[in-house]
């Protein structure tokens, strides 16, 4: 049961129609399978294909390459709608767009775009982005995966971890960051040259490890990857050599908007479930929702949803207008991930013992929401970025 009127957020008719369409899809097709998918830790490929048929994977891409000609507000609304009922499905869409297709669209050659994007934008294929390693992620200098040229081929060696959409039956490739040499900076110091390489699934020497046993996001596909002399053509370099990590940082800002939208959806899902429970649960002969303490808790939950939605919509609108949005994306991600975690905790408290049972969606949100404070940059990273924007983190003056 929706408790918030989206029409009050100054959405145009197309955006509002899309939001209502995806919310109906989420309620009718995603929600009924969410508990069983979580219990069996299974990503529904037919559901991925159904999202593709709705055009969700192609939302922010131009029509001439098979996209829907939409924008990041549209993508955020779709991810938010899915996140209300199943965060695993929402992150599958988010990662499929932000980490799978977007790097190819932004930095790929025409040949790479023509070969890879049609199936990705149609939801017929998925792709992963291999950045994180056991000792590296945001710390690019600690990257240990390497790629060297040998007789017209890149030879990739190393390991990645926590890679989304990397091991499904429709995963086509992963894009990996790797050290391809070194460069001398303006200060004279040697630094690793980080590039991105496309490695198709099935490449000899490329192994997808067993799926992780995670606290949450059980139906999201996540694996460790190893590369042992994996050879791919030299043409599989994605973007300019040495610009791999810098290019990824731009993608990451957009990803933070998408994670903020997902977090907002999760926070709203918790609010909806808690309001419904408070209105129907009888305690000592009266509705649970008649108690002022519960009313205040629900009011604060709605405040968090409202604030989180305003934050990610603002960042998305700046992005779509071609204006700087990095700080606003960090603010949105921080605000919304806090909202998701706080609302999950409060909703579980309202449900009491039932909130500890996995058959109730608030229990799943409680487990799922913690990663929202970690993925796409931790809470502490967002605080650092915001502090830098204030001229504080590096000791400078505004």
Residues tagged active-site = 376
DSSP string covering 239-281, please? SSTT-HHHHHHHHHHHHHHHHHHHHHHHHHHHHHHHHHHHHH-
Planar angle of CA 366, 369, 375, nearest 5 degrees: 155
DSSP state of 229: E
d(CA 196, CA 237): 6
User: How many helices, marked H, and strands, marked E, lie in the chain?
Assistant: 12, 10
| CB atoms closer than 10 angstroms to residue 163 | 25
Specify whether the backbone of 202 is left (phi greater than 0), alpha (psi in -120 to 50) or beta. Answer: left
Non-local (6+) Cβ contacts of 22 within 8 A are 54, 56, 77, 78, 81, 82
CB distance 127 to 96 below 8 Å: yes
Q: Hey, is 136 helix, strand or coil?
A: strand
Q: Hey, is 382 helix, strand or coil?
A: helix
Identify which of 31, 36, 38, 35 has the alpha carbon closest to the alpha carbon of residue 218: 38
Name the helix (H) or strand (E) containing 177: strand 171-184
């Amino acid at each position: 049961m929706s408790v918030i009127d989206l029409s009050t957020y100054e959405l145009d008719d197309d955006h509002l129609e899309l939001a209502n369409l995806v919310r109906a899809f989420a309620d009718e097709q995603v929600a009924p399978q969410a508990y069983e998918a979580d219990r069996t830790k299974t990503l529904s490929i037919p559901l991925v294909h159904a999202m593709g048929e709705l055009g969700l994977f192609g939302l922010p891409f131009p029509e001439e390459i098979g996209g829907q000609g939409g924008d990041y507000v549209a993508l955020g609304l779709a991810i938010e709608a899915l996140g209300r009922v199943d965060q695993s499905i929402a992150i599958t869409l988010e990662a499929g767009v932000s980490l799978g297709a977007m790097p190819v669209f932004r930095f790929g050659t025409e040949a790479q775009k023509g070969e890879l994007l049609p199936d990705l934008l149609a939801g017929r294929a998925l792709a992963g982005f291999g950045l994180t390693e056991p000792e590296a992620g945001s710390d690019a200098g600690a990257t240990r995966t390497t790629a060297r040229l040998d007789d017209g081929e890149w030879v990739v060696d190393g390991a990645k971890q926590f890679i989304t959409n990397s091991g499904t039956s429709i995963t086509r490739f992963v894009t990996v960051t790797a050290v391809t040499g070194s460069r001398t900076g303006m200060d004279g110091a040697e630094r690793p040259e980080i590039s991105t390489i496309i490695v198709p699934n099935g490449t000899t020497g490329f192994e997808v490890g067993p799926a992780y046993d995670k606290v949450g996001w059980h139906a999201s596909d996540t694996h460790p990857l190893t590369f042992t002399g994996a050879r791919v053509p030299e043409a599989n370099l994605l973007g300019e050599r040495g610009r791999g990590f810098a290019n990824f940082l731009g993608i990451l800002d957009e990803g933070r908007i998408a994670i903020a939208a997902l977090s907002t959806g999760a926070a709203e899902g918790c609010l909806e479930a808690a309001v419904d429970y408070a209105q129907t649960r009888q305690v000592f002969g009266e509705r649970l929702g008649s108690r002022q303490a519960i009313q205040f808790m629900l009011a604060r939950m709605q405040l968090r949803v409202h604030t989180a939605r305003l934050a990610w919509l603002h960042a998305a609108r700046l992005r779509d207008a071609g204006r700087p949005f990095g700080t606003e994306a960090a603010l949105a991600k921080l605000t919304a991930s806090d909202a998701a975690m706080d609302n999950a905790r409060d909703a579980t408290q309202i449900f009491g013992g039932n909130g500890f049972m996995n058959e109730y969606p608030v229990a799943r949100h409680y487990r799922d929401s913690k990663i929202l404070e970690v993925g796409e940059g931790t809470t502490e990273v967002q605080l650092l970025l915001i502090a830098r924007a204030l001229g504080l983190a590096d000791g400078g003056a505004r």
